[in-house]
Chains A and B, each alone.
Chain A
Amino acid sequence: MEHGFTWFSLLPFIADDPERQLIFTTIFIAAVLFIISAKVFNSIKKSPNPLIPPKKLSFQNFFELVIQATVNIMKDIIGHHAEKYLPLIGSLFVFILFCNLLGLIPGFLPPTSNLYTNGACAIIVFLYYNYQGFKEHGIKYLKHFAGPLIYLAPLMFVIEIISHLFRPFSLMVRLYGNISGDHAVLAIFSGLVPLVVPVIFLVLGLMVALIQAFVFATLSTVYIGLAVSHEH
């Protein structure tokens, strides 16, 4: 989709290539997140008693909130041992959230409105949950694909493989469609009425950004939970 002015188009070398701009935006977000988390890590390490929250509102509060909420939801879905999968799910959530939120600032294109960024995240989730499934069950993990009845296994195997391959695809398309659609709606309405009216769509965009990051993280958790669950 064509985009008007972007701040990154002022930079040399990436000015007239939108894909290079998107890659640069993604690296920019990753760098910002890296710096923030290093700062938070240091401030927790230095504080005499890390259990006491800081006096003022800081990134530490934000990260504590996000991690607490993520762990709670993961425990609801996976059960115990959920913290094992926190590094991937938590970083996916924060990364996608920041990418989505960047789209709300005028002059920035959200990296998640591109299929390739989402595809990378989705493929990582796909490989990760299969890896965790094999790690948890060994070769018996393949039983998950075979269905309940042994004579139906050849049929179920094909169906399950297709359904598993569709998971990363639907993760990718869902994020792409929501964010680029939301961005397009915002662009159209701010083109029609430049004042006041776009605020409604900015609020909508804020909700979409939060919910889509949440949905991506929750679905990844559900997939991991299905892969590592033990049937009783």
Chain B
Amino acid sequence: MRKWRTAVMVIGLMLLISSPVFAEEGAAGAADGSMSKGLIGLGAGLAIGLAAFGGGLGQGRAAGSSLEGIARNPGAADKMFVPYILGLAFIESLVLYAFVIAFLLRTKM
């Protein structure tokens, strides 16, 4: 609970800080053409790629340990379902923030 809260907060702060940076990027892109466009594309690709990497690792750990739990105690599968799905949703939402950022970057191109 506390972990995802801090993670969401960090992302939020980054969002807050990054909006003026995006604005400057857009202004520069209007001025000198192709190079900054390429950099924006690179940034968008890196954002979603790194986020998918981290999210994949996290979800893999979650799925692995829940499968381990079910293998040890198959009766607990029903009770584990809701927390498991919720955990995956929280991990995934961090990836989706990166998706949104990549999408915003794409519109700046």
Contact = CB atoms under 8 A, between A and B. Distances in A.
Interface stretch (B23-31, B60-68, B94-102): B94-102
Nearest to A1: B103
B50 interface: no
26 contacts: A73-B82, A76-B82, A77-B82, A162-B9, A162-B12, A163-B5, A163-B9, A166-B8, A166-B9, A173-B96, A173-B100, A174-B89, A174-B93, A174-B96, A176-B100, A177-B100, A178-B92, A181-B96, A211-B85, A215-B85, A215-B86, A215-B89, A218-B82, A218-B85, A218-B86, A219-B89
Interface string B69-99: 0000000000000100110010011011101
B63 to A, nearest CB: 14
B30 to A, nearest CB: 23
A61 interface: no
A73 B92 CA distance: 22
The list of the 7 closest CB pairs from A to B, nearest first, reads A177-B96, A215-B89, A174-B93, A177-B99, A170-B93, A163-B5, A166-B8
A188 interface: no
Interface string B1-20: 00001001100100000000
Interface of B: 5, 8-9, 12, 82, 85-86, 89, 92-93, 95-97, 99-100
A2 B97 CA distance: 21
The size class of the interface chain A forms with chain B is 20 to 34
Given A181-B99, A214-B85, A173 B9 contact: no
Contacts of A162: 9, 12
A119 B95 CA distance: 19
Contact of A166 (B12, B86, B92): B12
Which secondary structure dominates chain A's binding surface? helix
A149 to B, nearest CB: 15
| Most chain A CB atoms below 10 A, which of B12, B85, B93, B97 | B93
Contacts of A211: 85
Contacts of B89: 174, 215, 219
A159 interface: yes
Contact of B93 (A77, A173, A181, A218): A173
A121 interface: no
A166 B8 CA distance: 8
Contacts of B95: 177
Contacts of B93: 170, 173-174, 177
B52 to A, nearest CB: 11
B69 to A, nearest CB: 17
Interface string A141-169: 00000000000000000010011001000
